Every structure is written in structure tokens, then in C-alpha cells.
Amino acid sequence: MLGNDVLHDEWREIPEEDVEAAKHYMQRILEDFYDDREAVLKLLRQANRVAADDVPSQPTAQPGPEDA
């Protein structure tokens, strides 16, 4: 929300209300991400951009009675 201004505009003090608005905006993004994590993961999987801990592991063969 403020990133572009910070990078490209002259330095200026950011008013408290702008800081609070940016904080609230980021809070909503994080809440949406965690509240609907499965939908986010689905989109990431479709784009082949998943975290290593999200990749389904291959099932390992369990030893059966014949292996004992």
C-alpha cells in the first residue's frame, strides 16, 4: 500500500492514519490467507508453486505378515 511511495517518492514522514490503514490491509490479507488456506494452496499447486511441506509424499510400503 505504501511500498511504491516509499521506493519512488521523496522521503516524507508517514502519517499515523496511513500506517494504521496499511497495517489493517496487511492483517486482512493474512487473515484471508490462513482462513482459506486450502483455496490458496490449490492455486499455488496449479501454478506449480508449492512449499516442500505441501508436496504429497509417496506412500511407503508397509511390511506385511509375509515379510516377518
Model pLDDT for residues 3-58, shown as the tens digit of each residue: 676 677 777 788 999 889 989 988 888 888 778 878 878 888 888 887 766 666 66
Q: Where are the alpha helices (DSSP H) in the chain?
A: 3-8, 16-35, 37-46
Q: For residue 44, what are the contacts with CB-CB under 8 A and spacing of at least 6? A: 50, 51, 54
- Name the residue ranges covered by the structural domains of the chain: 3-55
pTM of the model: 0.42
Q: How far apart are the first and last CA of the chain?
A: 62
Local structure of residue 68 (DSSP, 8 states): -
